[in-house]
Structure 1
Amino acid sequence: MAGLTNLPTDLLRTFIAVVELGGHSRAGAALGRSQPAISLQIRRLEELVRAPLLAHEGRAILPTPAGEALLSYAREMVRINDEAVRYFHRSDKTGVLRIGLPTDYAVAFLQGTLTRYIHGHADVELEVHCDLSRELHQHLRSDDLDIIVAVMSDATMPYLSRMWTEQPIWVAAEDFHLPAHAPALLGAHPEGCDYRARMIQAMDTIERRWRIVYTGPGISGLQTAVVNGLCVTALTRATLLPGMRLLRESEGFPALEPLRVGLFYKHPRLSAAGLSLVSDLVADLERVGSGVQAVPA
């Protein structure tokens, strides 16, 4: 169609690499191009979109507002391009993939995605690392992980591909009853867990006394403590078990602040196997609810 401008995926790939790897030299090393060639591609892309895309802040190179807007489109366009290419190069999906999943998030449907992926890609070795979201973000930044699903501390964060909202809910054992004036007996993951912070914030907001009587890093241990009546806690609906019930505001448990959760990866660092898994994760995320959004949100 006359008048439309095509954005070449090689220019978009270079732009993503410069932003995500922190400079022209690192992008060139990752893409096998010289620094002048990288600079030339960025200038060409700026000409096509008619806007400056990168700015220097001290020694750092950061995207301009126009660059931030383009970055989300660029990630999606390059991902779809690579998905199409992978379809015709299916035998290239080999290697090791390191996945980070949060301790405090319901990952049942993601585990299903990972299981199906393993069964369909025998040559790919999958390593799953569970931790607090803040630790997962650090592992991704330091290239210790390839893909993470993690709670977001800010509305916009580096390497974000998809985001959605989770609503934590108060749960207890079916026969658990606690007078509204009594201290709340809480079960939680260790300090740094976003669900733990929201429970404490909710109790402090209504000036209700509370005590943490169970602390553990794993979701199964926390679920067992709740079912056995040791404590109450905050979960998502996907992690409710038989023998649990929801706690009402009239019982002294006010609504909890929602959580933003994101899918993150560094596109220039990801192998063909990793990009294939990202596509599977994106497809499953889009099936779990309308709250899943591409970036920009």
Structure 2
Amino acid sequence: MYHPLINLQTDLLRAFVSVIDLGSFTKAGTALGRSQPAISLQMRRLEELVGRPLLRQEGRSFRLTPDGEMLLSYARDILRLNDQAAALFSRARHSGILRVGLPSDYGVAFLQGVITDHVRKHPEVLLEVHCGLSSVILERMRADELDLVIAMVDTERKQYLSRSWIERPIWAGAEHGRISIKAGLPIAAHPDGCTYRARMIRALDAARIRWRIAYTSPGISGLQNAVVNGLGVSALTRHTLLPGMRVLGPEEGLPSLEDIRVGLFYKHPRLTSAGLGLINHVISQLDAAGTSGDPTRALGELRGL
């Protein structure tokens, strides 16, 4: 017997995503040109449609239920594709200022590839790139100072997260440098708070290897130069390795490093046509890279990095 599927109406999904991204029914109503009661009604209709509660009230705030978290992931993709199709048929131009936040390690690899490739095809888009610690650029997005952020995450569930993938850091040292663990391993690292730095220290402490911070820089190019010149070893990714470096591992007595989860973040209600175009481009490249276990490495190879 045929059971008709429910129709998830985009206006209900848009209200749902807006409430979550903007943090309140009132702000969602303002963004969508509706009253707060109208947004509340749309939320009730959506819950009735799916037959599950999506939000749980906690005092004056609310929290997503497990079903709400699952639906949110689908809703983001549905709205993104809907708005992409609408922009195509309306012949909307990708224009305006696009503010992108990148962690320092992506300031080279990711920026040279996917993001700049898209902007070159749309010269009417003005690009602003802000690099820094993941926690800092995510906070700037919460404050509506950034439109799109690539950042390191510690969980699969995080506010504004659209996609995530696994990054596998590796130890890198000077090509002809000698590693002496007994003398205390010199490390080149970003300032305290960096995910890569934390993983290096945890791995070395667990292996009872003495270490010292020999070089500190907020930028990836500084760390790369420090490694090439033999000032210290560092945790990098394969697509940030440079000539003059070599991969280090168990042969040199170094422990493996924990995987890092990287995510793509944005607030759908705040997206401009330029932001939507870039997000669709980034996601299409991630999908093309596949799920081989190291999507960012595959992505770098796709873009010739």
Q: TM-score range by the shorter chain?
A: over 0.9
Whole-Å separation in 1 of the counterparts to 2:102 and 2:67 = 31
Map 1:121-132 → 2, pairs under 5 A: 121-132=122-133
Query: CA separation of 1:128/1:90 partners in 2, compared to 1, >3 Å: closer, same or farther?
Result: farther
- 1:90 counterpart residue number: 91
- 1:195 counterpart residue number: 196
- 1:280 counterpart residue number: 281
Map 1:68-217 → 2, pairs under 5 A: 68-105=69-106, 107-217=108-218
Whole-Å separation in 1 of the counterparts to 2:240 and 2:93 = 36
Whole-Å separation in 1 of the counterparts to 2:110 and 2:244 = 21
Verify the 8 A CA contact 2:181 2:210 in the aligned structure 1.
no
Unmatched segments (≥5 aa) in structure 1: none
Whole-Å separation in 1 of the counterparts to 2:274 and 2:107 = 24
Verify the 8 A CA contact 2:190 2:217 in the aligned structure 1.
yes
**Identity score, percent:** 56
Deviation at 1:230, TM superposition (A): 1.1
Deviation at 1:2, TM superposition (A): 5.4
SS, match of residue 203 in structure 1: helix
Whole-Å separation in 2 of the counterparts to 1:107 and 1:76 = 28
Mean Cα deviation higher: 109-118 or 80-89: 109-118
- 2:301 counterpart residue number: none
Deviation at 1:252, TM superposition (A): 2.1
Verify the 8 A CA contact 1:146 1:269 in the aligned structure 2.
yes
**2:239 partner letter:** A
Whole-Å separation in 1 of the counterparts to 2:25 and 2:112 = 37
SS, match of residue 27 in structure 1: helix
- 1:228 counterpart residue number: 229
SS, match of residue 36 in structure 1: helix
Deviation at 1:269, TM superposition (A): 0.9
Unmatched segments (≥5 aa) in structure 2: 297-305
- 1:257 counterpart residue number: 258
Deviation at 1:78, TM superposition (A): 0.6
Deviation at 1:153, TM superposition (A): 2.2
Verify the 8 A CA contact 2:188 2:215 in the aligned structure 1.
yes
- 1:237 counterpart residue number: 238
Deviation at 1:285, TM superposition (A): 1.7
Mean Cα deviation higher: 86-95 or 34-43: 86-95
TM-score, structure 2 as length reference? 0.92
Deviation at 1:110, TM superposition (A): 4.3
SS, match of residue 105 in structure 2: coil
Whole-Å separation in 2 of the counterparts to 1:248 and 1:121 = 42
CA deviation string 1:3-61 (max 9, x = no partner) = 11110111100000011111110000000011111111111111110111112112112
Verify the 8 A CA contact 2:107 2:131 in the aligned structure 1.
no
Whole-Å separation in 1 of the counterparts to 2:92 and 2:67 = 38
Whole-Å separation in 2 of the counterparts to 1:107 and 1:283 = 20
Deviation at 1:107, TM superposition (A): 4.9
**2:34 partner letter:** R
Matched, 1:49 2:50: yes
Verify the 8 A CA contact 1:101 1:107 in the aligned structure 2.
no
Verify the 8 A CA contact 1:86 1:276 in the aligned structure 2.
no
Instruction: Give the length in aligned residue pairs.
Output: 293
CA RMSD across the alignment: 1.6
Query: CA separation of 1:29/1:148 partners in 2, compared to 1, >3 Å: closer, same or farther?
Result: same
Whole-Å separation in 1 of the counterparts to 2:112 and 2:290 = 17
Verify the 8 A CA contact 1:168 1:236 in the aligned structure 2.
yes
Whole-Å separation in 2 of the counterparts to 1:107 and 1:152 = 19
